[in-house]
Structures are given as structure tokens and as C-alpha cells.
Chain A
Amino acid sequence: MNDTPPNSFRNQPDDRGHFGEFGGRYVAETLMPLILDLEREYRAAQADPAFAAQFDDLLEHYVGRPSPLYFAERLTEALGGAQVWFKRDELNHTGAHKINNCIGQILLAMRMGKTRIIAETGAGQHGVATATVCARFGLPCVIYMGAEDVARQSPNVFRMKLLGAEVVPVTSGGATLKDAMNEGLRDWVANVHDTFYIIGTAAGPHPYPEMVRNFQSVIGTEARAQMLSRAGRLPDLLVACIGGGSNALGLFHPFLDDADVKMLGVEAAGHGLDGDEHAASLLGGAPGVLHGNKTYLLQDEDGQITEGHSISAGLDYPGIGPEHAWLKESGRVEYTAVTDKEALEGFQLLCRTEGIIPALEPSHAIAAVADRAKTMGKEEIILMNLCGRGDKDIFTVAEKLGVEM
């Protein structure tokens, strides 16, 4: 980070973990010493070439990186505008970008001598990725999952159990992802001596947002080199979907100082931003404090957190990573939102034009790409992070399309 210019967009957060006014360490005192310890250990790991070497080795041989950069020729033809390229992170082991971060965090956990792993999960993708790395390294693992999500995502619950994880259905509050995160924090505060909390997105108290972003930045670092090698130039527009925002930051961050590269983050508009049934924290929320950081939140006028809605369980979190809040206010990244219906159309478009079944999360990004590509010239390039595959979503999609399975 020392080689970034003074006006760089890549030198956040500051030494207190603040991205402008966002981020920070809003945790109970019991956790504060642990958070400080985590930061010290992470800085030591960053400075240790052996840590990076082990991370890189696992990403190559266990996760299957680098993921391909793919020119979507038939989709490009169908849209009739800019060239559409995909970073194929859905081809990773476990089927999404989540594993990149889990590898990094479990290596850090072991470096810190922690012997027990906990995590929260919404759709189950982060839970599966966490259970996977715990099985790989032989650590016991407890996954907190909202009881509503346990019922909606039974294949992923079974996957986690096959991998040896204990899945705890959370019935408190609204029994969804934010409540699972509350329960993860409650477990952590009671077991700080031996437990490492693998947070699944670029949110939470410092240093998590920075750390998760850095682990996920392998996406953008690879893509930038692949793009230069294949197309001989940088893309004109990057697009990624955003729940907490880790896949988007992973793609965007290595490009932030490339002034000619525009960026578009796509939130979930659910049934539409004009009502309450959406999960667009940036476009439909307001700044506040939750789960260890200051960021944009879905909340009422008294600061009570409201439930997000999206067809995609991976996007219906009422907050967003604090770096996105800062990138929005700085104007460096543009944010938009895509409805359930549009995402479903994006999902089907990719299935039929490219033979790729995407997850519902990046289907939101596909819908935004389809919209933008038509307004751009044929010589222009859009690079989208295809961050997850859709096997997990076929039951949801079938139901929405009125198909009996």
C-alpha cells in the first residue's frame, strides 16, 4: 500500500479502520482486545512471505485459481453493444468467491493458535466455504444460520453437515442472516480464548473489511493481468453484485486507481426501491452502526434495523461493507439496483446464451450488464465478476417460474 499515490482510492482504511467516516470498531469491550490482537496478527501475516506463499498455493491447487477470464461471445451478440467478459469465480471449489476469503482467514486463525471456528451464513455459501476449509484443516466448526434460511436452503445445510460442521438454526429476531451474525457475535464474546470468527463479507469491525477485501482482491489482480494479456487494455466498465460487497471489492479494488475504468455495483432492489421490500442499503438506506461498523443500513427513523428482501438469500443483508459506503460518497463507484424480476431474466439470459447457470446473486449483475452494454459501443469492454454458480438456486428459480420439480 506504500506505493499508492497520495490521492489514491486504494489506501483506505486509516490506522483506526475508518474509510472516511465509515468502518471503525463498534464492538463490545469484551471483543475489543481480541480485535486489536487480530489486527496485529494480520499485519504480521501480511509481512510474512510464508503466509502469502501458503495462501497462493492453496488458491492454486485447492481452489483452482486463477479462475478463467471468459469472453461471452453469444451474450455480447445478443445484447448488441459492448463486449461482455466474465471473471469466472463461479468455477472455484465450492462454487463461489467465498472460498478465497475463507482460506485466508483459516490460515490466520491457525497462525493465532485458535482451535475452533465459527461463522454466520445466509444462503449457505459462506457456511459451505467455511465448513470446507475447516474440514481441510481439521478444525471444529459451528455455523450460525437463521432458522428461516435453514428451511429455505436445505441443500447447503446438508452440504455443511457432510463436511462435518455443526449448523445451529437461529430463531432469535427475524431468524435470518443478521440474526445469525448476532448469534455468531454472542458465541465469540463468550469464547474469545479459543475461537476465531470467519466473517463472510467485507464488513464487521476493523480489520475484517480490509482483510476480507485483501483476500478477495485476488479476483481483480488476476482479472487485470488477464485483461491486459488477452485484450491488450483495461476494461471500460467493471460490474459486480453487492450484498455485503466482498466479491465487488475483490474485483474493483485493484482497479480503483485506473481512472479510465468505471465501476458499477449492483444492489438487490427486491420488489422495487419505492417500497420496503428490497435489500439496497446504499440506495435505500442511511448511515448507522451495526455489527461492528458504521455503514449504510436499512433502518427506520429510530435506528431500528429493518429486514432486507431479495430473491437471492445472499443479498438480503440490511447492511453493506463500509468501503462501499465510502466509495459511494467519494463518487468513485456508481451504484444501481436490480429487481427480483430483472435478476430472474438475467439468470435465464445467461443460461441460454452461454450455457452457464449463474447464481441469483450475480444474476443481478447480469441484468445491469445487459442494460449498460446496449448503451455502449462495440469496441468497449465490460468485465463482470461471475461470482457464483446457480446449482443452489434452481429450486427457487423453478418456483418463481411456476415449474414443478
Chain B
Amino acid sequence: MTRLSNAFAKPHPAFVAFITAGDGDTAANLDALVTGGADVIELGMPFTDPMADGPAIQSANLRSLGAGTTTADVLQIATDFRARHPDVPLILMGYANPMVRRGPEWFAAAAADAGVDGVICVDIPPEEDDALGPALRAKGIAPIRLATPTTDAARLPQVLEGSAGFLYYVSVAGITGKQQAATAAIEEAVGKLKAATDLPVAVGFGVRTPEQAAAIAAHADGVVVGSALVDLCGEFGEEAPAKLEELTSAMVAAIKTARA
């Protein structure tokens, strides 16, 4: 968790990069994200039924599972990443069923052993925290929650209770990789969230260009990009690392100028 708080203590907003584990040469792709300047890595755990994801990440899930990726593979990718990059925070993101299949304690222990700093589980809301949250907290892994445009002021305290690492603001009511929310709406939402919590607030969903990233970075503590990177993995295969590094560098440069 120290790695996560360090990442958000830098002089510029954090760039949070998502790719799906097992979709191409994941080790090379992750290294490219780090070389490009990513501050936080989100590693997607593939699932057969990614119901909160748009076409880009759905396809990445299918490519990964089609290549035979197992939970053991995902954990090995994390373990190897931690060995190569001792200081870069790594988060596992995915759906509940692969995480709880062998029991939440098993998953939390395996993730901790692999050097994972945080977990985002899309379909475990605060109401069902018992299914995974206590096990993660017991192992010092940050349960990172999502807030959305439908999370109203009355509900927000419940979302924040027991969450750690950072707060992930989903800027649009919808699936990943689609349209982006208006900057003004994001600014207002981030302001309300930051008034309610000391956790850093990272904003994602629909962020595809350095310009969009910069606009968000003007207000948020972090910018999350997933589908745009995942599309590169799908389109370029073995050639993806160079493309990932290029886009990441451009995003990071834009973010660093956002508050200048």
C-alpha cells in the first residue's frame, strides 16, 4: 500500500494504465507501460462474462482466455512484474467469480504473495464487502472501490467505508471504452468526492487521448486509461510494446503539463 500512496504523492497526477493479463506478451507490455512512465498498473484478470466492459476489453478477455490464461498465470505475471519493478504499484482488476472461486482468503494470500498492492472487483459493491474485503484487508491489500455518476451524496460514505488506496471515479454511467463525460461534469464530481475523502481520486472510463487525459488531470489525482491501451494490444500483438510505450509517454507528458 506504501507503493500506492507514493505513486499519488508525486508532483503530478498519476497515470494509471490498464491492460488484460494474458493478452499478448504481458510481461513485455507491462514493461513498456512502466518505461513510458505509468505510475500505477492495473492488471485485468480475464473473465468469460465481463458485463461492465465494452467491446475493447471484452475482446481482450476472450483473446486471453482463448490463449489458455489461468488464474495461476495471472498471479505469475504479477509475481514476475514485482520482481522486475519493486516500486511500481500493481493492482488486480476484475470480476468476483475468478477472485472468490477458491475462497477469498486463498485469493488475498496469493495476491499478497505476488506483490499485489490493491484489488478492484467490479461486481462486489460495499453491500457485499464480506465476500472479499475482510480477506484483502487482513493481507494489507487495498480494496479499491468505484464511485459513479449514480453514487449520490447519501450513498458515498458507504462506498468510502473500508476502501483504500485510491477512489476510482467512473466518469460515465456505462461500460468501459465508450464516450467520455464532459470535463465540467468531471470537475464537479471530483470536487464533491475530494470533499468527502482524503483518498486520491482517479478518473477513468472513456479516456482515449492525451488531450482528454490532460483535461481530467487538471482536476483529478489520477487518470485511468484502459480500452485505448487494450486496443493496441489487440491490434499490434507482438509489436504492441512500442505502441504502448508511445501512447503512455504521450499521456504522461500531457498529464504533467495539465496543471502548469
Contacts and interface: CB of A to CB of B under 8 A. Distances in A.
Interface of A: 16, 24-34, 172-173, 178-179, 181-182, 185-186, 189-190, 192-193, 288-292, 294, 297, 299, 301-306
Interface residues of B, number: 43
A33 B155 contact: yes
A232 to B, nearest CB: 47
A30 B173 contact: yes
Given A29-B148, A178-B49, A290-B49, 11 more contacts: A25-B127, A26-B125, A27-B123, A30-B149, A34-B150, A186-B174, A189-B175, A190-B173, A288-B101, A303-B97, A305-B48
Interface in B36-73: 47-52, 54-55, 58, 62, 65, 70-71
Q: Which of A16, A29, A186 has the most CB of B within 10 A?
A: A29
B161 interface: no
A105 B108 CA distance: 39
Given A173-B62, A288-B100, A302-B98, A29 B125 contact: yes
A190 B148 CA distance: 12
Contacts of B71: 302-303
Given A186-B52, A288-B100, A303-B100, A32 B175 contact: no
Contacts of B127: 16, 24-25, 32
Contacts of A301: 101
A24 B147 CA distance: 20
A32 B49 CA distance: 19
Given A288-B101, A289-B131, A299-B101, A28 B52 contact: yes
B96 A32 contact: no
A182 B101 contact: no
18 contacts: A25-B128, A27-B123, A28-B125, A28-B146, A29-B159, A30-B52, A32-B150, A33-B151, A172-B58, A173-B58, A178-B49, A186-B51, A289-B97, A289-B131, A290-B97, A303-B98, A303-B99, A303-B100
B88 interface: no
B148 A30 contact: yes
B122 interface: yes
B48 A28 contact: no
A33 B52 CA distance: 16
Contacts of A186: 51-52, 54, 174-175
Given A33-B152, A182-B49, A289 B62 contact: no
Given A289-B123, A302-B71, A305-B49, A29 B151 contact: yes
B123 A189 contact: no
A84 to B, nearest CB: 39
List the 5 shortest-distance A-B pairs measured between CB atoms, nearest first.
Answer: A303-B101, A190-B174, A303-B98, A289-B96, A303-B97
A26 B51 contact: no
B170 to A, nearest CB: 7
Nearest to B107: A303
B170 A29 contact: yes
A173 B47 CA distance: 10
Contacts of B98: 302-304
B178 interface: yes
Nearest to A289: B96
Contacts of A297: 97
A26 B96 contact: yes
Nearest to A184: B51
Given A29-B125, A33-B152, A302 B101 contact: yes
B253 interface: no
A304 B47 contact: yes
Contacts of B208: none
B49 A26 contact: no
A189 B52 contact: yes
